[in-house]
Chains A and B, each alone.
Chain A
Amino acid sequence: MLAALGRPILSLAAALGRPPIAFARYMGELAFLIKDTAVSICTAPIRWRLFLRQVAEIGFRSQLVVGVTGAFTGAVFAAQTYFQFHRLGMESAVGAVVSVSMFRELGPVLTGLMVAGRVGAAIAAEIGTMKVTEQIDALRALGVQPIDYLVVPRTLAMLISMPLLVAECVGLSVLAGYFVATQVLNISDAYYLNTMIKFTTGRDIQMALTKGFFFGIIIVFVSCHQGLNAREGAVGVGRAPTESVVISSLGILIANFFLSFALNIVYPGGI
């Protein structure tokens, strides 16, 4: 009787235990990748040409998608805020709401999601293809560390590009919000600018850039890890970018919650 009951209970325990173990294992692999990359940055020569190529790919070529996202989000956010605040006669506060929200939350998150989709997927696909076509083994056989050659240039480029892309996204969103509020919704530009400048502080800008930096870390390491661990065949290579986008996006959204609380201690909100 006990034996008959024991087997299903063991199977259930095994089934329940598998996801946490897989999660712990995944986090451990990511931690080792981050450690190896940090060691490589400190000890191995940096390939500046590859780094510049990645800055162009990750930073320069992402500007359009990030800029359009920021501008239209700022514009629609200003409009929606106006529709609500108009009833209360608080139109002049629209600028402050748009600006602070974009700096502290929406700007970094939207930039992170767009870069995860555009760049993270490309990193995972490129490294994944190199993995299954033995190009990564060829690098190793030629005495080149894949971390030095593939991960370090992408990491450095991402860490520099992400804060700048966040700044661009937020800047354009604030400009677009200002344009819609003053030119389309006829809010007085003096009141709009006054409240916006009054409520937006240097701490909000620092928070936006810091979040961008952390989201860059999530995107680049998740994507490189997916690429380096891509499985053989078309399915394996196809899965790497998809999983990279999904994991990076979820990671950004979850990390944003905790970062908002943690960074609020360093850069407290409000005036």
Chain B
Amino acid sequence: MGDDTQPVIAVHGLHKTLGTQEVLRGVELQVARGETCVILGRSGCGKSVLLRHLIGLLKPTSGKVLIDGQDIAQLPERKLLEVRRKVGMLFQSAALFDSMSVEQNVAFPLLEAGIKDPIVIRERVTEALDMVDLLGSEQKMPEKLSGGMRKRVGLARTIVGRAQCILYDEPTTGLDPITSDSINHLIRRLQTRLRVTSVVVTHDMKTAFHTADHVVFLHEGRVYFNGTIETLRATTDPVMTDFIEGRSEESYA
């Protein structure tokens, strides 16, 4: 990767229109090396759309997306391969290949990277599964796994290729509070053990408080708040406090 002072991810003036809807309206974002940036926002505010731009799954209508200083916005699909070796993504649904076992899912990126030695592959798969506490589940098929286990396998598949930056799309959505907590610990553990840069998209405040070094709040397609977790805790902005405390304008009466 590049030098340590340069942000790993930098987004400038990102606009994205899907159909007739302008989802992102000039987003500015910088993520420093080794930090965990949490992107917060209400459902439908464009968080996942922003995340997908960071790995080239979506092309911006206008603006720049720099990964290690390289603008990936206009790169053709086949030229994005190098970027995708550096940046891994955990999907909201985990997106495991349902025709493959856990072991085959985790080994997939290694085989695609041209690693053929079965001993090396087994060692790397075991290491990745150990990291997410799933040793012993190698032969299970994805449909036999719980939601939390699927996310862990998805995470093992993301880290097995030794990605230096991991994007998490709603890692705790749909999970019970205890499983959510274990995923939050896992995100933190990966950051400290592997020193990866992480971008976590969520609307779960617990995830934000547990994992974030730096928080970005998206509102109406723009960055509304950008600061540390301490600044977030101290904010008195009504839009932010309503979100943090989960307050709608409706009454229960």
Q: Which of B86-94, B199-207, B228-236 contacts A (4 or more CB under 8 A)?
A: B86-94
A89 contacts partner chain B, Cβ-Cβ < 8 Å: no
Question: Which chain B residues border A133 with CB–CB below 8 Å?
Answer: 93, 95, 98
B224 contacts partner chain A, Cβ-Cβ < 8 Å: no
- Write out, one digit per residue, whether chain B residues 44-81 have a CB within 8 A of any chain A CB (1) or not (0): 00000000100111000000000000000000011011
A42 contacts partner chain B, Cβ-Cβ < 8 Å: no
Residues of B in contact with A, size category: 20 to 34
Whether B89 contacts A141 by the Cβ 8 Å rule is yes
Whether A142 contacts B109 by the Cβ 8 Å rule is yes
Q: A137-B91, A138-B91 are in contact. Are A143 and B112 (CB under 8 A)?
A: yes
Residues of A in contact with B, size category: 10 to 19
Chain B nearest CB from A128 CB (Å) reads 13
Chain A nearest CB from B50 CB (Å) reads 15
In the complex, A172→B85 CA distance in Å? 52
Whether A141 contacts B78 by the Cβ 8 Å rule is no
A144 touches which one: B92, B93, B112 (CB < 8 A)? B112
A138 touches which one: B52, B78, B95, B161 (CB < 8 A)? B95
In the complex, A248→B161 CA distance in Å? 40
Q: A142-B84, A143-B85, A145-B78 are in contact. Are A137 and B57 (CB under 8 A)?
A: yes
A140 contacts partner chain B, Cβ-Cβ < 8 Å: yes
Q: A141-B57, A141-B89, A142-B84 are in contact. Are A134 and B95 (CB under 8 A)?
A: yes
B243 contacts partner chain A, Cβ-Cβ < 8 Å: no
Considering the complex, which residues of chain A in the window 134-187 have a beta carbon less than 8 Å from any beta carbon of chain B?
134-135, 137-138, 140-145
Question: Which chain B residues border A143 with CB–CB below 8 Å?
Answer: 80-81, 84-85, 109, 112-113
**Which of A133, A137, A141, A143 counts the most B-chain CB atoms under 10 A from its CB?**
A141
A141 touches which one: B84, B92, B96, B97 (CB < 8 A)? B84
Question: Which chain A residues border B88 with CB–CB below 8 Å?
Answer: 141-142
Question: Which chain B residues border A140 with CB–CB below 8 Å?
Answer: 56-57, 77, 84
Considering the complex, which residues of chain B in the window 94-113 have a beta carbon less than 8 Å from any beta carbon of chain A?
95-98, 108-109, 112-113
A-B contact pairs, 16 of them (CB 8 A): A133-B95, A133-B98, A135-B96, A137-B91, A138-B91, A140-B77, A141-B55, A141-B57, A141-B89, A141-B91, A142-B84, A142-B161, A143-B85, A143-B113, A144-B112, A145-B78
Known: A143-B80, A145-B78. 12 other contacts (CB 8 A): A129-B98, A133-B93, A133-B98, A135-B95, A140-B77, A140-B84, A141-B89, A142-B88, A142-B108, A143-B84, A143-B85, A143-B109
